[in-house]
Chain A
Amino acid sequence: NAGVTQTPKFRILKIGQSMTLQCTQDMNHNYMYWYRQDPGMGLKLIYYSVGAGITDKGEVPNGYNVSRSTTEDFPLRLELAAPSQTSVYFCASSYGLAGDVDGELFFGEGSRLTVL
């Protein structure tokens, strides 16, 4: 099983550039998430989706956009990249809502983004 697959694993951007982080899951999970991980800060939720066509903001959505056209895919778009967006990004999915009884999160391997 592939689980959750993220691409690319590494990327360097210049300030003001845009890019899309891709995320695909093959577990037929309704719930999908994007987190960013910064040293000493744990994971912060950027956006999440409860199903195809439905997305909502998390704790730190500014500077990002998402879409969910299919159950499998949940791309994260960075517009006008800024140094503050240098981070490790994780996509995750779950059967139920994260943190609920059936909400075990399954994570991708992460995408390390540097904005210079």
Chain B
Amino acid sequence: AQSVTQPDIHITVSEGASLELRCNYSYGATPYLFWYVQSPGQGLQLLLKYFSGDTLVQGIKGFEAEFKRSQSSFNLRKPSVHWSDAAEYFCAGNDYKLSFGAGTTVTVRA
């Protein structure tokens, strides 16, 4: 069974609108959690990570994510999306090994 699940395969959002990408994990203990972004034709780049402490973490490019133990979630958010945010986003988690979710493709419409 996948340790990290991204329920949404594809999301379309208007430029300037807010974005939220869902990630659920199924580890028993609190894992280390990550969000990576893959722009078209590029490799993956780390957006942000959560290990412990403050459950709201800030990342690069204006992204943030919130860890919610009660919901086993680590959702990624951005208040106002730019056309350059069109990409594929991967959630990843680590208990004893790193596992990636299947990814969510974000399309930004003008």
Q: Which chain A residues have a beta carbon within 8 Å of chain B's beta carbons? A: 4, 40-43, 45, 90, 92, 98-101, 103-110
Contacts and interface: CB of A to CB of B under 8 A. Distances in A.
A41 to B, nearest CB: 6
Contacts of B99: 42
A107 B90 CA distance: 13
Given A42-B100, A42-B102, A99 B44 contact: no
Contacts, number: 52
Interface residues of B, number: 23
A41 B34 CA distance: 17
Nearest to A42: B100
Given A109-B41, A110-B43, A43 B32 contact: no
A92 B99 CA distance: 14
Interface string B90-110: 101110011111110000000
Given A40-B9, A40-B102, A100-B32, A107 B45 contact: yes
7 contacts: A42-B102, A42-B103, A98-B98, A99-B98, A103-B94, A104-B46, A110-B41
